[in-house]
Amino acid sequence: MRTLSLLRHAKSSWDDPTEPDHSRTLNPRGKRDAPRMARFMRNQGLLPDLVLCSDAVRTQETLRLVMAEWGEDAPKAVLNAALYHAEAPGIIKVLGKVDATVQHCLVIGHNPGMHALALALADTGEPQALSDVSARFPTAALAVFDLKIESWSKVRPATGRLRLFVTPKTL
């Protein structure tokens, strides 16, 4: 059994419409929401063993804010360019390479891939969480899955139970 958490990057800025997508930073709401989600994860005992993060600026900023909130308890984090706008199969491919010693992995990434992966993994789950995640996966949203697998290479659609889905607005 493994735990997978999916955290969409916090709200990004659109102040400069000429800025390349990969370089967009967080806006003030995003800078507030990322630490709130990190505190929630800590309070719920949801600190991962490993964080995999897209290499986009907004995901890296989200990662820094989350890790700063966790302080000494922050796990190892790895930037992975393959997670930048990855579709669900691409995220699964990255997860398949996670070391077997990792029990709980957090992925910080982008939509629509994060939402698609959440929908694909959820074989069962908490009814309200399933309903909420099926509707949308907003910025800084967190989905937590219990995966019925013994190694990360076995991550496939319908192998997860959606334990929790929260958004900054629901905290």
Alpha-carbon span 71 to 5, nearest angstrom: 19
Task: Give pLDDT tens digits for 16-38.
Answer: 989 999 999 999 999 999 999 99
Alpha-carbon span 112 to 34, nearest angstrom: 19
Q: Where are the domains of the chain?
A: 2-10+21-170
Alpha-carbon span 28 to 48, nearest angstrom: 26
Closest CA to 22 of 141, 107, 110: 110
What is the CATH number that goes with domain 2-10+21-170? 3.40.50.1240
Contact 94, 80 (CB under 8 A): yes
pLDDT of residue 56: 98
Contact 65, 122 (CB under 8 A): no
The pLDDT > 70 percentage for the chain reads: 100
pLDDT of residue 69: 97
Q: Which residues pair with 76 in a beta bridge?
A: 50
Could you read off the pLDDT tens digit of each residue along the chain, which spans 171 residues?
999 999 999 999 999 989 999 999 999 999 999 999 999 999 999 999 999 999 999 999 999 999 999 999 999 999 999 999 999 999 999 999 999 999 999 999 999 999 999 999 998 999 999 999 999 999 999 999 999 999 999 999 999 999 999 999 999
As a whole number of Å, the CA-based R_g of the chain is: 15
Contact 61, 10 (CB under 8 A): yes
